[in-house]
Amino acid sequence: MLEIKNLHAKVEDQPILRGIDLTVNPGEVHAIMGPNGSGKSTLSHVLAGRDDYEITEGSVSYKGEDLLEMEPEERAAHGLFLAFQYPIEIPGVATMTFLKTAVNSQRKLRGEDELATPDFMKLVREKADQLKVSQDMLRRSVNVGFSGGEKKRAEILQMAVLDPTLCVLDETDSGLDIDALRVVADGVNALRGPDRGMVIITHYQRLLNYIVPDHVHVLSAGKIVRSGGKELALELEESGYAAYEADAA
Amino acid sequence: MAAVQETVEQVKGLAVEQYKYGFFTDIESEKAPKGLNEDIVKFISAKKGEPEWMLEWRLDAYRRWRNLDEPSWAKVKYPPVDFDDLYYYSAPKRADDGPLSLDEVDPELLRTYEKLGIPLREQEVLAGVQGAKVAVDAVFDSVSVVTTFKEELAKSGVIFCPISEAVQTHPELVQKYLGSVVPVTDNFYATLNSAVFSDGSFVYIPEGVRCPMELSTYFRINESQTGQFERTLIIADKGSYVSYLEGCTAPMRDENQLHAAVVELIAHDDAEIKYSTVQNWYPGDAEGVGGIYNFVTKRGDCRGKNSKISWTQVETGSAITWKYPSCILRGDNSRGEFYSIAISNGHQQIDSGTKMIHLGKNTSSRIISKGVSAGKSSNTYRGLVSAHRRASGARNHTQCDSLLIGQTCSAHTVPYIESKNSTAKFEHEATTSKIGDDQLFYCRQRGLNEEEAVALIVNGFCKEVLQQLPMEFAVEAQALVGISLEGSVG
């Protein structure tokens, strides 16, 4: 469903991605690991359509369409979801309102009718219970005053409600204690399915104990320098990234 | 191009096409000759068949006005207004004998108000289109064309009619209260208004009555080169309650039109007045050509003990807004509130705020001001909180927040605090923030387009004030907040 070919991107003349190749098929979970500054977050932002980056070469096709031609909201409506490393605060906008606006904006873009409020509420309550997101949290402003764990749970809740086909999780484990990590991982695992692809970006192998990937890739200096199965993550845990940093340099 | 930058570009395109109410109604009207002199004042007074005292009051104001200068302290810039090049009176023909029953109102006028989304036909309102009953006084240029639900209101003793009618039918009330809150000589525009005001609403809520429905007035300027000088007077007698809403629109014109209104509120012992405004006058085009000069004096007098006056305003229109709805907290334990959303875009200039004058003991006031500026606009909050020597125990809390969109707009805050009583407690909080690229991107990643994202973020920013609006209008106001910041995406 996702095919990245020779993707190059730079920000303010500084090349960050230097030729990424990656194919994600439905049902697959890919982990992208790498040291700080290797371009992991850039990749997630480029996929979601953040316009601070200039694509200088390469292509990204998503469900047979040119992803790079789409506006961020169109990508979202086509089923691409990015769980943010640092979820953004929107004061005064209740999480429930935000979710409803997002769901209906996406439906509108896809030419579907808006979801009736009772149906929507039912959907959210059900997903919220699974993720231990309280009614109180749903009433609070988006991410305002949320703890690190609450923010990440709210991200996964949004993911569950929006029901995407491609989930990109950017350092979802950062700032989580072990209990919160488990709740988030359970939430993500519940969303695994034959029609959904996932790209999990992480610095640490820890998350991958809970969300077991099908493929692991090592990103260094803007390139995927090694790919393998889930055992690659364990190997990295032992040896660290030093070898790859040397490679890239 | 960063997302915010893009929004800024799109917002620049905000123009004529965004203003939904810019149409002109082709209807025959009767005007007084251009310019202002004693004869015009007499003409207006005669048109209304006013008693001698009313004419004298107007002439006195006119003579004083001639010796006044336009105020220049506000942070707004505009070429001098040529007061001799304006029509001071314009009325749709046939309506010059005052408001008619609905059957007699020109169908063209009814259609105008329909287009504006204001139901004038009582049976339609009763059919529950809006969910709740709202009585409407519709003012078209210089006259009130119709007032709905008058009879039903009369049953509870509430008087709701055009002020020109009140001068005839309730002269004792008008004489007693007119100019008692905003004196004839208050300021340049108020004095001008006193001389030439043509219509507006009059409300009297008798002792102990809770007004059974929302009252509202819709102001429409239609004719070109016409100033609108409306005058509204609301009196809440002891222990009564009323909620009142005004809405304003005007056609798009490339000239600047003057709107100089005066609103006076009087709350007696234990009475409460809630006054809400949704101001959407034509703001001018993308280059800053045309638009309404909205120079308005609004003041409430909490005359009795335990009285309360609450102003809520959503200001999105007008080329220039100069407006400070204020409260005089005269009665002991009285309370004043000011909740404001002021949105400026394009070349709009807003200088608005409030005055809370604490005179009585244990008076309290609260100010929440939300300023949103975009485009090349300038948005100033100007406020005064003062405590008189005898105002022991006076309390005020002011919260003044500004939100900026883009690099070319500006926001200013000018709070004055004067306390002559050592027991007064005044608090002032202020914040300034920007809609960030991060926020926009986050919303867009979830499927909102840029306009929806800006509208959502701004509505969140304004939430505390939107909550103060009567329910029937809150939804409308939320949509308006979005529309007034709309760029031309796509």
CB B261 within 8 A of CB B232: yes
Distance between CA atoms of B341 and A4, rounded to whole angstroms? 47
A39 secondary structure, DSSP code: S
Q: Looking at beta carbons, which residues of chain A come within 8 Å of B461?
A: 91-92
Closest Cα in chain B, distance from residue A143 (Å): 11
> Looking at residues A9-38, what average pLDDT do you find?
93
Residues A90, B443: C-beta atoms closer than 8 Å:
yes
Which residue among A51, A76, A97 places its CB closest to the CB of B2? A51
Residues A72, B441: C-beta atoms closer than 8 Å:
yes
Number of A–B residue contacts, CB under 8 Å: 80
Task: Give the residue carrying structure tokens 């919160």.
Answer: A180
Q: Chain A residue with minimal CA distance to B435?
A: A90
Which residue among B439, B442, B460 places its CB closest to the CB of A141? B460
Residues A158, B446: C-beta atoms closer than 8 Å:
yes
Residues A48, B445: C-beta atoms closer than 8 Å:
yes
Rounded to two decimals, the ipTM of the complex is 0.96
pLDDT digits (tens, 9 = 90+) for A74-113: 999 999 999 999 999 999 999 999 999 999 999 999 999 9
Which residue among A50, A93, A162 places its CB closest to the CB of B441? A50
Residue B478 has a pLDDT of 78
Residue B95 has a pLDDT of 44
Q: How far is CA B347 from the centre of its chain?
A: 20
Q: Position B402: which residue type?
A: S
User: What's this model's pTM, rounded to 2 decimal places?
Assistant: 0.82
Alpha-helical segments (H) within B201-335: none
Nearest CA-CA partner of B374 in B11, B9, B4, B10: B11
Which residue among B1, B443, B464 places its CB closest to the CB of A51? B1
Interface mutation vs chain B, best among A11, A50, A155, most B CBs within 10 Å: A50
Q: Over 60: is that where the pLDDT of A169 sits?
A: yes
Residues A81, B445: C-beta atoms closer than 8 Å:
yes
Distance between CA atoms of B330 and B353, rounded to whole angstroms? 20
pLDDT range class, residue A247, cuts 50, 70, 90: low
pLDDT digits (tens, 9 = 90+) for B253-270: 566 778 889 999 999 999
Distance between CA atoms of B369 and B215, rounded to whole angstroms? 24
Tell me how many degrees the CA angle B321-B302-B416 measures, rounded to the nearest 5: 50
Closest Cα in chain B, distance from residue A87 (Å): 8
Strand spans (E) along chain A: 2-11, 14-24, 29-33, 54-62, 65-66, 80-83, 90-94, 141-142, 166-170, 197-202, 215-220, 223-228
pLDDT digits (tens, 9 = 90+) for A31-73: 999 988 899 999 999 999 998 899 999 999 999 999 999 999 9
Which residue among B6, B441, B460 places its CB closest to the CB of A93? B460
Residue B18 has a pLDDT of 56
Question: 3-state DSSP: chain A helix, strand, coil percent, rounded to 5?
Answer: 40, 30, 30
Q: Chain A residue with minimal CA distance to B454?
A: A90
Residue B473 has a pLDDT of 72
Question: Could you give the domains of chain A?
Answer: 2-248 (3.40.50.300)
Return the number of other C-beta atoms located less than 10 Å from residue B33's C-beta.
12
Closest Cα in chain A, distance from residue B288 (Å): 31
Nearest CA-CA partner of B454 in A51, A109, A155, A105: A105
Going from the C-alpha of B413 to that of each of B370, B429, B431, B435, B489, the distances in angstroms are: 11, 11, 10, 19, 31
Closest Cα in chain A, distance from residue B2 (Å): 6
Which residue among B452, B461, B464 places its CB closest to the CB of A105? B452
Residues B447, A51: C-beta atoms closer than 8 Å:
no
pLDDT in tens, chain B (490 residues): 344 444 444 444 443 345 666 666 666 667 777 888 888 889 889 888 899 999 999 999 999 999 988 888 888 888 888 888 887 877 766 544 444 555 666 666 666 666 655 555 554 444 333 445 667 777 766 566 667 777 888 889 999 888 988 999 999 999 999 999 999 989 999 999 999 998 888 999 999 999 988 888 877 766 666 777 889 999 999 999 999 988 766 666 566 778 889 999 999 999 999 998 888 777 777 777 778 888 999 999 999 999 999 999 988 888 889 999 999 999 999 999 999 999 888 888 999 999 999 999 999 999 999 999 988 889 999 999 999 999 999 999 999 999 998 888 899 999 999 999 999 999 999 999 888 889 999 999 999 998 899 989 999 999 888 888 877 677 777 777 777 776 523 2
Q: Chain A residue with minimal CA distance to B464?
A: A92
Return the number of other C-beta atoms located less than 10 Å from residue B221's C-beta.
25
Q: Looking at beta carbons, which residues of chain B come within 8 Å of A90?
A: 439, 442-443, 456-457, 460
Residues B447, A158: C-beta atoms closer than 8 Å:
no
Question: A30: which strand partners?
Answer: A199, A215
CB B95 within 8 A of CB B143: yes
Closest Cα in chain A, distance from residue B8 (Å): 15
> Rounded to 5 degrees, what are φ and ψ at B169?
-95, -25
CB A95 within 8 A of CB A140: yes
Distance between CA atoms of A5 and B19, rounded to whole angstroms? 46
Distance between CA atoms of B247 and B243, rounded to whole angstroms? 14
Going from the C-alpha of B20 to that of each of B12, B249, B250, B251, B412, the distances in angstroms are: 17, 9, 10, 9, 29
Residue B223 has a pLDDT of 65
Interface of B with A (CB under 8 A): 1-3, 6, 436-439, 441-449, 452, 456-457, 459-464
Kind and range of the H or E run holding B365:
strand B364-373
CB A19 within 8 A of CB A56: no
Tokens found for residue B489:
């995406």
CB B184 within 8 A of CB B191: yes
Residues A90, B1: C-beta atoms closer than 8 Å:
no
| Torsion-angle region of A134 (φ positive above 0: left; ψ -120 to 50: alpha; else: beta) | beta
Exposure b/e, A64-99, CB count within 10 A at least 16 = b: eeebbebbbbbbbbbbbbbbbbebbbbbbbbbbbbb
Interface mutation vs chain A, best among B444, B465, B478, most A CBs within 10 Å: B444
Residue A219 has a pLDDT of 94
